[in-house]
Structure 1
Amino acid sequence: MTTRSRPLLLSLCLVLLVGALLAWLVAGLLNRSGDAAEQMSQAVTPELLDKGAYLARAGDCVACHTAREGGKPFAGGLGIASPIGTIYSTNITPDPDTGIGRWTYGQFERAVRRGIGHDGAALYPAMPFPSYARLTDADTRALYAWFMQGVPAVRQENRASDIPWPLSIRWPLAYWRALFSPAPESVASSEAAVNGDDIARGAYLVQGLGHCGSCHTPRALTLQENGLDERAAAYLTGTELNGWNVPALRGMPHWSEDEIAEYLGSGRNAKASVAGEMTDVVANSTSHLSDADLQAMAAYLKSLDPGQARAHRADVERAGATARKLAAARDLSLGERLYLDNCNACHFVSGKGAERVFPQLDGATVVTADKPDALLHVILAGAATPSTERAPSVLPMPGFAKRLNDAEVAQLATFLRQGWSNRAPAVSVEQVERVRAGIVGQP
């Protein structure tokens, strides 16, 4: 080290030290840190363990804390991509050395609701603690009891993230948490609210454990969700995730409450079948919820109606015109002919499909998304519904990658996006080429 470089290094160390100290102060002042030493005082009963297991299902904890290839439940190791590198989920089984077996209730509560690790380090917001801040104290205790006594311990070392230094420094996350994650003291729900009417219960599940906004709400440049409840105009207005369109959930004018509940419970309804990232959500989480909770979630989502009823009536008229043209089979475009030859047998000239069997294309968000990638992926590679208790049969759709060339797929997708009530931009051959190239095993 040269004489000239020493002052620079000392200055850098001083900046880091002062920044870390300020981050600790900001976190303490603006987002209370909780009591890490707090112990679980409630007696652990079979009823409490059953409740904790149900809540873990509602939170879909297994999805992120289980590695895809042969991973043991809750033992961690799943790689979660982020703009700054890959974050690996941690072992949350009660193993005392590699898991959470030695954690106090206070350490568990701080991690779940406040984004603070058992060692005091800030957690990456890949953990949806801004949503979990809404959990009641009672539900948090039930979760702790179940993870400590209802989950088999697995000895599996945690894997360090692939985030390079200096982006891997944790203390700046305290500022992020203070600015964008609410303190439980300000937003945690009361037992009366949670067990109130359907809309209140539904709001608790959607905003809290369900953390639906994590995927269905667009994010700012600083990666926080643009709203954590319905007071924010962008909340649940849809976005994009891993190349898939994530639809808006506000109001859902094309679906009834029963259709929303049925979709969440079985992965299908009279108008749609689940695909993409939502397949795992239904399989691991929502299909295990009670009918009452599914109806509550649907009631809350329908209460967010943005006033689209008039536009919906106009859409019905436009959809009828497309159906009549397809039925007449005259003066058809290439996209319309391809639809009749390849899709009509299942989805029909109305684009309505067959109830609970073939999804509806008219008004489907996967069809009308700003980017057509998810639609093109389904056309090329096909899709299959998950097997759930409410709907055990798996319904597959074949892929057409070997039957249709890129130009034909582009014409077909363009018709789907502009037929019936759909109003979405046309699809180019280049977009099809890009999606096809990203599908493993396709020519």
Structure 2
Amino acid sequence: MMKPLILIPSLLLTAALAGAAAFPLALAEPSLSVPIPPQPPVGARLLNREIKPLRPHATPAADTALAQRIAAQGSASAEDQQILRGAYLARAGDCVACHTSKGGAPFAGGLALASPIGAIYSTNITPDKQHGIGDWSYEDFARLMRTGVTKAGYTVYPAMPYPSYSRLTDEDMQALYAYFSKAVPPSAQENRANDIPWPLSMRWPLALWRKVFAPTPAPYTPAAGSDQELARGAYLVEGLGHCGSCHSPRAVTMQEKALKEDGGRLFLSGGQVVDGWSVPSLRNEHGGGIAGWSQADLVEFLRTGRNQYTASFGAMNDVIEDSMQYMSDADLNAMARYLLSLPPRQQAAPYRYDSATAQAAYDGRPDGPGARIYLDRCAACHRSNGTGYGKAFPALAGNPVLQTSDATSAIRIILQGGRQPSTASATAGLVMAPYAQLLDDQQVAEVTSYIQTAWGNRGGTTTAAEVAKVRKTAVPVAERAP
């Protein structure tokens, strides 16, 4: 009887840790020695974009009301400037994405976050005194953001990336608190209990996880004499942006294997599957990363979700629509420059276009069933030579997503279709139709293998079994929430 009793705590810890799944991305700002960009311009382009949301919850009413009040006044008080700063940071952190349920009030929580042990529901972070954080002091707020410990004293699931938030400066933390406590409308929406069965719902393993894996909270401090723009980019990417939550691999105990650049080359190296999509590397490497991109290419991708090389998909669409498109030019450039400074984890040869595939299609001699399916179903938009049509229909030739052996994302897009993000600078939001009802598993495998190996792509072949696995969770784009 002793052996099971000894194993139970270990089992609980392992199971609870499995709930620390990775969720969306975002951004932030540095300490005194790190340059902080100017306050978001009152009445200027950024403010105007905030007044015109592109999705129902993309612009909380608080942001619009604040912008309109300041515009009417013609100037902003010190308190308004701090609140406006907090609104910018909340946007940068994409707080609304996780803390807003479909059809719910912004920041009122209730969104189900899938985990291996059950659904975790995001909480109400409006200033409602009964169900939200209306009775929290600044110290309570900062403690949660930096250590993952609530006012009530329990540890939250690391679905909230507090290990990254721990790097926020006091100035930025205070601005966020001012925004959530003074500008966000309170909502009396009750918090929903997590759908996690006992004993996996026990919280004590989370406190142990925090003590073992979460870093000691310390605001970001750049090295003496460091490049200010690079330092700013590091602060944004590693801190409130929590890019590593999706783009850094995790251990079996679900902690990120590297939280920042000096943690090793696993940082932002991608490779895992998050929410059904294979996550690409954000390092300057060939074979799936961003090598060959210019800083302008990367800024364009972060702002619009597309550039000459690829287009965004999955959760990254939400990040761009709710967060990235609203970032200042200075911040996006700082992030892009920092990401391009990250050396490769493992380098592959640069992509070289191979015209043989295109020539075969042009000559009317497609090689195999995958090629024939492509010409019949895909070439009208992506062209027989794989180069697509500008930023409307992304190129497949040389696309980083098609240079790795994990074809999960390519399979999912074919099955359920895709949608480009709709932004202020690229409003179309073009949709690719799903093919789940038109192609069987073998046909999807054949066309996926084709696009992964045509035109010089190095992704390799795909099997029907791999397609069948993805099909189980594929939801046609028309059925997905906006």
TM-score (norm 2): 0.77
Contact 1:219/1:225, CA 8 A, preserved across alignment: yes
- For 2:438 and 2:161, locate their aligned partners in 1 and report how far apart those are by CA, in whole Å: 42
Of 112-121 and 337-346, more deviation after overlay is shown by: 337-346
- For 1:101 and 1:193, locate their aligned partners in 2 and report how far apart those are by CA, in whole Å: 39
Report the equivalent of 2:240: 209
1:53 aligns with 2:87: yes
| Cα distance change of structure 1 residues 408 and 253 upon mapping to structure 2, 3 Å threshold | same
Matched AA of 1:236: L
The structural deviation recorded for 1:63 is 0.7
The structural deviation recorded for 1:424 is 2.3
Matched AA of 2:84: D
Stretches of structure 2 lacking an aligned partner (at least 5 in a row)? 14-76, 285-289, 478-482
- For 1:369 and 1:151, locate their aligned partners in 2 and report how far apart those are by CA, in whole Å: 43
The structural deviation recorded for 1:245 is 0.9
1:348 aligns with 2:383: yes
1:140 aligns with 2:178: no
1:167 aligns with 2:197: no
Total equivalences in the alignment: 401
Contact 1:44/1:145, CA 8 A, preserved across alignment: no
1:311 aligns with 2:310: no
Matched AA of 1:144: Y
Kindly, what percent of the aligned residue pairs are identical? Answer: 48
1:280 aligns with 2:312: no
1:233 aligns with 2:269: no
- For 2:298 and 2:337, locate their aligned partners in 1 and report how far apart those are by CA, in whole Å: 9
| Cα distance change of structure 1 residues 110 and 327 upon mapping to structure 2, 3 Å threshold | same
Contact 2:244/2:267, CA 8 A, preserved across alignment: yes
Report the equivalent of 1:420: 455
Contact 1:384/1:395, CA 8 A, preserved across alignment: yes
**Alignment RMSD (CA, Å):** 2.8
Alignment of 1:41-440 (within 5 A): 45-67=79-101, 69-185=102-218, 188-190=219-221, 197-231=228-262, 232-238=264-270, 239-251=272-284, 252-306=290-344, 311-312=349-350, 315-317=351-353, 319-330=354-365, 332-440=367-475
More helix, by proportion: 1
Q: Per-residue CA shift, 1:220-276, capped at 9, x if unaligned?
A: 111100100122221111121122111011111142211111111112112222211
The structural deviation recorded for 1:361 is 1.2
The structural deviation recorded for 1:409 is 2.0
Contact 1:271/1:355, CA 8 A, preserved across alignment: no
- For 2:467 and 2:139, locate their aligned partners in 1 and report how far apart those are by CA, in whole Å: 51
TM-score (norm 1): 0.83
Q: Per-residue CA shift, 1:358-398, capped at 9, x if unaligned?
A: 11212334334443232122112221112111211121112
Other structure's SS at 2:129 match:
coil
The structural deviation recorded for 1:283 is 0.9
Stretches of structure 1 lacking an aligned partner (at least 5 in a row)? 20-42
Matched AA of 1:328: D
Contact 1:122/1:170, CA 8 A, preserved across alignment: yes
- Larger radius of gyration between Structure 1 and Structure 2: 1
The structural deviation recorded for 1:331 is 5.7
- For 1:425 and 1:65, locate their aligned partners in 2 and report how far apart those are by CA, in whole Å: 39
Other structure's SS at 2:261 match:
coil
Higher RCO structure (Cα 8 Å, ≥6 apart): 2
Other structure's SS at 2:428 match:
coil
| Cα distance change of structure 1 residues 369 and 73 upon mapping to structure 2, 3 Å threshold | farther
The structural deviation recorded for 1:175 is 2.4
Report the equivalent of 1:29: none
The structural deviation recorded for 1:84 is 2.5
Contact 2:266/2:345, CA 8 A, preserved across alignment: no
Matched AA of 2:249: P
The structural deviation recorded for 1:348 is 2.3
| Cα distance change of structure 1 residues 93 and 285 upon mapping to structure 2, 3 Å threshold | same
Contact 1:75/1:92, CA 8 A, preserved across alignment: yes
| Cα distance change of structure 1 residues 403 and 66 upon mapping to structure 2, 3 Å threshold | same
- For 2:476 and 2:204, locate their aligned partners in 1 and report how far apart those are by CA, in whole Å: 43
Q: Per-residue CA shift, 1:165-219, capped at 9, x if unaligned?
A: 333222332222122111223xx12499999622211111111111000001111
